[in-house]
Structure 1
């Protein structure tokens, strides 16, 4: 698309309305909607009505908005800064706009683009911060959908933080050198300890942190977030995880975290791959611990991105201990663990009344030793077992569970790349599970779920495990036939 095709036909701007008159004409829902939008401001709203709907009249009274019961006359718009024509009568709305234009007052007629000098946006209000979304009248529903997403992403305390920043503006200009130092100061103010304290409604601590920032001319203590990136799908990332990614100076991520999620971080953030994946560790755990400590001590805000949830087989305990010992503060941001994503893809109830009331998470390595773990008896009594990194230990898991008494015909669900667009689903029974280890077509992370509750899954989109063996036999038969043919 050429640059000319991407140009807007309107110029986004914010109009000063504080203490100034804004008039709204109309009796029904459209006038009500405009008045509600204007109520986000401290404009002097004047509602011109003839026979207002009951709910609109009640709201006007409750809000203490000046209400004039009168038919339209041109003198009603004089002195206004904005005019809204929402009478439901298209001809009358055009008359109102024409009168406003004669007075050089911007006006808006509902559903008549040619009689709109401006469009009303979908508004995200964190006063004094405001985000307005417009579609030039082409898609009001789309604007509302975008507004809802932005509203969820922004902290409810953002406006309070902005008001606090206004109090420190003069001090920052006096005490913090212009340029890089001042940019660092404000970035820390809006993303570090000050913001965290405001978010917790602890204004006293926020002020102390802001004062400390002033005294160190922008230098602040580092902080580490241990963030669960979820099973892979970007839209399963939590809103909190999205926020801290945008605050981070550095992002330290594992190999299983999709690049699309890493790219959600700030454009100028340092990105460091530590490549933790089975048999492919570019850094040892000790090296990762030292890296996090070093970045924190340098005063950086660090996101440590882990696949799934950091507290489920993520070795977060070792990283937390290293950060504690080094005096670097940290937080946990939970993520959706792969077992839940796999169950969702299969529409599989992990617990089922009268069938399975317990749920076990394991890597399967518990079943490779000589002694059965304590939870094995729960599996025999009907608990659902979610096995992480399940392909490499599938044979051992199946053998030990069957040896302990779990029926060979117990249903199993297998999923590669849970939640992702390239996910693959398989189903079968426990005795077929050892065949997984021989499958070289499974290169992504594999989750195995075992138990009686698995029989309640939706297998319409999954492939039987037995189909792979059948294909192998067919391919082998074809190869033998070709060899025989060549010999003949």
Structure 2
């Protein structure tokens, strides 16, 4: 069987208390020394004029200054060698001498003179992720490290430490490798992982014990996640981590396909959205399904557009979870008023135009208290009105009747932050007509800040004509 030959064998070296020789006393040498110190190495330094920061390490006995001039005999009793000087002839001498003694050597920024290389590291100690391009594209390796760094929760290290303490206990109850693997897969995706992420280590260990002695007894949980207004790039890192752990995702119509694509491929997806003039799942049925799935031991993600606690009924759903005794947590999201207006170039506040912003929903219970229209009609404030298109005529009428000027700038932002975003602007007396023509979902914005749209719009959005043209092309 043939296989591709690689240039380097990836290894993790134990350097704790082992002598490592560093030749060089500048900034680059200092970076390598600090990395070696984190791994517990006995760092020995050869440098004619060490950097002041390096001298401070010597004073702290964090490293040893063994000589000013390099001599080949210094290599006889060391484990690794690093040359970090700007003297190419000296670097070559170090490399040749180390090779002759079968010592692993790294000459910084000179791949041909390296028998080992430093990878880019994602540090979640004791978990380490090492990325290397074999010296061919170190900047690409660094960029990849940054992406992985963003995806891995900061609590993974503590989770690994707890798991290490429990290994022998797990072996006593799970006698085969396959059984232990299944146990840990479930733990790292389930309640144990959630409690560790929440910082409750004692409760996390209790969940491990319960699952160990009585499998399935720890049950599942409900995680309420804000998906943002549409652009998948606005999903928070915590939100991404959570939906990739979900066994089942209940989502609404405002969650974009791009966000749903980020979920695990084997996760079950259930739409429980509500939409005017269309089939909708009753709220009490959604509450029941969430609780039942969690009680079945599943990690349940309730994915809601925008932020789940801003006109999203997230509070009602968690009240149902609390009443049923089901554990839950919340991952906030970018709300539509913040995301859509930012993409439209409309600042919600501006010291020259608006000193406050009010979020209002145009969809409310019939028995709820009426709006304080006099308060909402005050000038020098911004109104961001969710789900207001169907009542745009009433909103416009009441604001005008309570003192808002008919030439007050307004905007209707449709499908905000998405590739087909549309922004229609006009005045308060035109709000009804603008709302009638707006694709859903749409946000209404009332206030002088709307006048900044033409100046500050940066996101490339479609005009109504472009959107119509695109729909014709897609139908064809």
* More deviation, 7-16/91-100: 7-16
Distance 1:370 1:429, change over 3 A: farther
Displacement after TM superposition at 1:165 (Å): 0.8
2:289 pairs with one of 291, 296, 306? 291
Alignment check: 8 A CA contact 1:366 1:372 kept: no
Alignment check: 8 A CA contact 1:414 1:446 kept: yes
Alignment partner of 1:94: what SS? helix
Residue in structure 1 matched with residue 395 of structure 2 by the alignment: 397
Alignment check: 8 A CA contact 2:374 2:403 kept: no
Distance 1:195 1:413, change over 3 A: same
Residue in structure 1 matched with residue 94 of structure 2 by the alignment: 96
1:325 pairs with one of 316, 323, 328? 323
Q: Distance in 1 between matches of 2:6 and 2:390?
A: 55
Q: Distance in 2 between matches of 1:418 and 1:169?
A: 49
User: Counterparts in 2 of 1:420-435, with a 5 A limit?
Assistant: 420-435=418-433
Alignment check: 8 A CA contact 2:81 2:104 kept: yes
Displacement after TM superposition at 1:327 (Å): 1.4
Residue in structure 1 matched with residue 126 of structure 2 by the alignment: 128
Q: Distance in 1 between matches of 2:406 and 2:177?
A: 69
Alignment partner of 1:324: what SS? helix
Alignment partner of 2:377: what SS? helix
Displacement after TM superposition at 1:181 (Å): 4.5
Distance 1:451 1:11, change over 3 A: same
Alignment partner of 1:125: what SS? strand
Which ranges in structure 2 are unaligned for 5 or more consecutive residues? 469-476
Alignment check: 8 A CA contact 2:424 2:434 kept: no
Distance 1:250 1:332, change over 3 A: same
Displacement after TM superposition at 1:80 (Å): 3.0
Is the counterpart of residue 17 in structure 1 residue 12 in structure 2? no
Q: Distance in 1 between matches of 2:280 and 2:37?
A: 56
Displacement after TM superposition at 1:222 (Å): 0.9
Residue in structure 2 matched with residue 445 of structure 1 by the alignment: 441
Distance 1:140 1:223, change over 3 A: same
User: Aligned pair count?
Assistant: 462
Aligned-residue CA RMSD (Å): 3.1
Alignment check: 8 A CA contact 1:367 1:396 kept: no
Cα distance per residue 1:309-362 (max 9 Å; x no partner): 001121113311221222111111110101001221233232233643332222
Distance 1:99 1:156, change over 3 A: same
Q: Distance in 1 between matches of 2:253 and 2:5?
A: 39
Alignment partner of 1:449: what SS? strand
User: Counterparts in 2 of 1:38-53, with a 5 A limit?
Assistant: 38-53=36-51
Distance 1:67 1:192, change over 3 A: farther
User: Counterparts in 2 of 1:319-468, with a 5 A limit?
Assistant: 319-353=317-351, 355-365=353-363, 373-439=371-437, 442-459=438-455, 461=457
Displacement after TM superposition at 1:17 (Å): 2.2
Displacement after TM superposition at 1:196 (Å): 4.2
Cα distance per residue 1:72-118 (max 9 Å; x no partner): 22222234332211111122112211222222222211121211223
Displacement after TM superposition at 1:207 (Å): 3.1
Q: Distance in 2 between matches of 1:387 and 1:180?
A: 54
Distance 1:17 1:135, change over 3 A: same
Alignment check: 8 A CA contact 1:367 1:397 kept: no
Q: Distance in 1 between matches of 2:288 and 2:366?
A: 31
Distance 1:367 1:345, change over 3 A: farther
Distance 1:250 1:370, change over 3 A: closer
Residue in structure 2 matched with residue 266 of structure 1 by the alignment: 264
Cα distance per residue 1:276-295 (max 9 Å; x no partner): 43434453322221211111
Alignment check: 8 A CA contact 2:321 2:327 kept: yes
Residue in structure 2 matched with residue 483 of structure 1 by the alignment: none
* More deviation, 208-217/295-304: 208-217
Q: Distance in 1 between matches of 2:242 and 2:114?
A: 40
Distance 1:94 1:468, change over 3 A: closer
Alignment partner of 1:413: what SS? strand
Residue in structure 2 matched with residue 475 of structure 1 by the alignment: none
Residue in structure 2 matched with residue 55 of structure 1 by the alignment: 53
